[in-house]
Chains A and B, each alone.
Chain A
Amino acid sequence: MSEVIHAGHHDHHDHGPAKGLLRWLYTTNHKDIGTLYLWFSFAMFLIGGLMALVIRTELFQPGLQFVQPEFFNQMTTNHGLIMVFGAIMPAFVGLANWLIPMQVGAPDMALPRMNNLSFWILPFAFGIMISTLFMEGGGPNFGWTFYAPLSTTYAPDSVTFFIFAVHLMGASSIMGSINIIATILNMRAPGMTLMKMPMFVWTWLITAYLLIAVMPVLAGAVTMMLFDIHFGTSFFNAAGGGDPVMFQHIFWFFGHPEVYIMILPAFGIISHIIPAFARKQLFGYTSMVYAVASIAFLSFIVWAHHMFTVGMPLAGQLFFMYSTMLIAIPTGVKVFNWIATMWRGSMTFETPMLFAIAFVVLFTMGGFSGLMLAITPADYQYHDTYFVVAHFHYVLVPGALFSIIAAVYFWLPKWTGKMYDEALGKLHFWLSFIGVNVTFFPQHFSGLAGMPRRIPDYALQFADFNMLSSIGAFIFGFSQLFFLFVVIKAIRSGKPATARGWEGARGLEWTLPSPAPYHSFTHPPEVKAEEVHG
């Protein structure tokens, strides 16, 4: 009996976070770790963005003005790697940490200590990778896809650090994913059945399975590179009986599921925001779940559409063309459902909703240019041009990134208990929306006209499109500093937010007070029908 009382007292003392900076190092609280992930990814976003601006500065005019080609290559490579592995992915993991336990009615993540470890690996991984830029011979310069033999035979000496950094990122992602799956499968409040789970939880469950399936493949690819470079093997070296094309197959077997890893959680976020501001239930919840699952399945059988030009037999090209086009069907289902959710809703256009609508429109455009690229005979013209750059930036920037920004505006009241300034939020949206389109829309045209990607200099005919693109990039880049200002202003002096946050918001997280208490749902909540999406 006395033991029970003692335990009760102990709990009572442990309500708030620990004091001091070490709190962040030792924390196992899902909200703290979510915050760490989000700030880390924002820092990486600024560093990767700075690199993008170096690229756009050099491309402002034809000719070499600011940087040398060697450094330019390091910029394109590191921009890609940092944005993919350092900004987008950790931001989604941060959102998962904050939201999943609250949305399924769990007190914390299933494995809190591993959670701490999987975050704290990341600063070291990116510290190692960015430090290579200051080494003799420079950092990775072979493109974010690091095709062999560019990344083996012809790589700078620092490539070994890059390989180690990728191993660390992979370990972090695998641990994070195991944690998320274990939480979703075991920690749901009674009554929260799988088909009642919020869409963000569903999309992350499937994303986490994708991650644990393909991250070992990426680790294998870089390990083979390591062996080729240091231990005399010839996995990718034709001189020793290897095959550089095999590298591309292995890389894209990882790489294609990876692009869905970066978009599926975005689908989840949008499926929360649109119903909230249309004040209607999500249209077609069940079909949304099945659409995400089929996109995830298809992502494993389309990888070679990234390499149509390596010389594939006709049957292979046809298979990968048709399987790629098949993805348009579940994606179309999702877009249809979002629009149907808005149909005859009482819509208001607060900042998160603006970003969500822009997501639907611009992501769909990126999807359509993806369909164009999937047409094998046409791909021979588009391959490795700025058309490809325009395509994947349309799905990643107004796609994945806009969804993250929308999520921050949408859940900020719940996280901080403060409301951001709506006028400033809208200004941020319009600056971003104009900036992103001015940057990337002209790249479709320069790509169709034949401008190759990853070049520091270009033919005169592309000068106007590139100048436009660079102007857009600076508008977009600086408007993200403005985003930082809006968020900090909200945290410091925002108006207090209500518990519900938004009139139309539904879900267990909105039943908690704002800001959400440090320990929430220590006793499983009752899952009421009106808080459930399905």
Chain B
Amino acid sequence: MTSHEERQKNIKQTVRKLGLIVLGMCGFVVALVPLYDLFCEITGLNGKTGGPYVFEEASAQPDTSRLVRVNFLTNTNQGMIWEFRSGKGSVRVHPGEPKTVSFFVKNPTSRPMIGQAIPSLVPVAATQYFHKTECFCFEQQLLQPGEEMEMPMRFIVDRDLPRNVQSISLSYALFDVTERIGLPADMAATSTASQEPIDSDIAAGG
């Protein structure tokens, strides 16, 4: 009888330990998301470029021995109806030389909207060597109905860029974040008032 009780005690102990493993794995999944983001940020694995880069213009020494082509691609995400294009499809720069290019957006709707551009860069090997000192993607854009905007982007390709990389493609996807961010209070009122006709416009157009 005592051996039976002892066995039951051992079983309980095993179950408790296994329960802890299950809980630990649940915690691991929760931790996976921030870990994944951190991992991508350190390694640039998912093509996401870094935040604002500080660099001293005066001490810049371009590597004039080679030119790198930088291509710009613009996309709008599903449901985003802004016009979005780059001023030039591509530019050729010396590594180490700062360069400014322009992008254009237009809000063709009759309500104020907020947009957010998300960059992605290929090849992945170049992600860590592409720096932006100024970019519209660091903030959101609020456009009034029919408003157009020219948005500058200032970047520098690092002198240490591997020599086998001769071309870099930077892609921006523009997302509608109006609902997520929320319009300032004074504009929100006009927005709801004009909501209905816009929806029917979209329906007619789509």
Q: For chain A residues 263-318, which have a beta carbon within 8 Å of chain B?
A: 311-314, 316
B7, A312: Cβ atoms under 8 Å? no
With contact pairs A182-B14, A187-B7 given, residues A239 and B177 touching in the complex (Cβ less than 8 Å): yes
With contact pairs A216-B22, A220-B29, A250-B29 given, residues A243 and B46 touching in the complex (Cβ less than 8 Å): yes
Nearest CB in chain B to that of A234: its residue: B180
Nearest CB in chain B to that of A110: its residue: B11
B29, A216: Cβ atoms under 8 Å? yes
Chain B residues whose CB sits within 8 angstroms of the CB of A454 once the complex forms: none
- At the interface, yes or no: A354 with Cβ under 8 Å from chain B? no
A235, B33: Cβ atoms under 8 Å? yes
Nearest CB in chain A to that of B30: its residue: A220
Out of B28, B36, B43, B175, name the residue touching A243 (CB < 8 Å): B36
Main DSSP-derived SS at the A contact region: helix
- At the interface, yes or no: A2 with Cβ under 8 Å from chain B? no
- At the interface, yes or no: A486 with Cβ under 8 Å from chain B? no
B173, A182: Cβ atoms under 8 Å? no
Q: For chain A residues 154-210, which have a beta carbon within 8 Å of chain B?
A: 174, 177-178, 181-182, 185-187
Chain B residues whose CB sits within 8 angstroms of the CB of A181 once the complex forms: 14, 18
Out of A111, A186, A221, A249, name the residue touching B10 (CB < 8 Å): A186
Main DSSP-derived SS at the B contact region: helix
B18, A239: Cβ atoms under 8 Å? no
Chain A residues bordering chain B, tally (CB within 8 A)? 37
- For the side of the interface on B, what is the size category? 20 to 34
A185, B124: Cβ atoms under 8 Å? no
Nearest CB in chain A to that of B48: its residue: A243
Closest chain-B Cβ to A208's Cβ sits at a distance in Å of: 9
A/B pair count, beta carbons within 8 Å: 83
A216, B26: Cβ atoms under 8 Å? yes
A245, B46: Cβ atoms under 8 Å? yes
- Inter-chain CA distance A110–B14, complex, in Å, is 10
Chain A residues whose CB sits within 8 angstroms of the CB of B45 once the complex forms: 312-313, 316
A212, B14: Cβ atoms under 8 Å? no
Nearest CB in chain B to that of A181: its residue: B18
Q: For chain B residues 85-103, which have a beta carbon within 8 Å of chain A?
A: none
B173, A238: Cβ atoms under 8 Å? yes
Out of B7, B21, B26, B175, name the residue touching A186 (CB < 8 Å): B7
Q: For chain A residues 198-257, which have a beta carbon within 8 Å of chain B?
A: 212-217, 219-221, 224, 235, 238-241, 243, 245-246, 249-250, 253
Chain B residues whose CB sits within 8 angstroms of the CB of A110 once the complex forms: 11, 14-15
With contact pairs A235-B33, A238-B118, A246-B36 given, residues A217 and B14 touching in the complex (Cβ less than 8 Å): no
B77, A239: Cβ atoms under 8 Å? yes
- At the interface, yes or no: B67 with Cβ under 8 Å from chain A? no
- At the interface, yes or no: B135 with Cβ under 8 Å from chain A? no
What are 22 inter-chain pairs, A to B, with CB distance below 8 A? A181-B14, A182-B11, A182-B14, A186-B11, A212-B22, A212-B25, A213-B21, A215-B22, A216-B25, A216-B28, A220-B26, A220-B29, A221-B29, A243-B40, A245-B46, A246-B36, A249-B36, A250-B29, A313-B43, A313-B124, A313-B125, A314-B125
Top 4 A-B pairs, shortest CB-CB distance = A220-B29, A216-B25, A239-B175, A216-B26
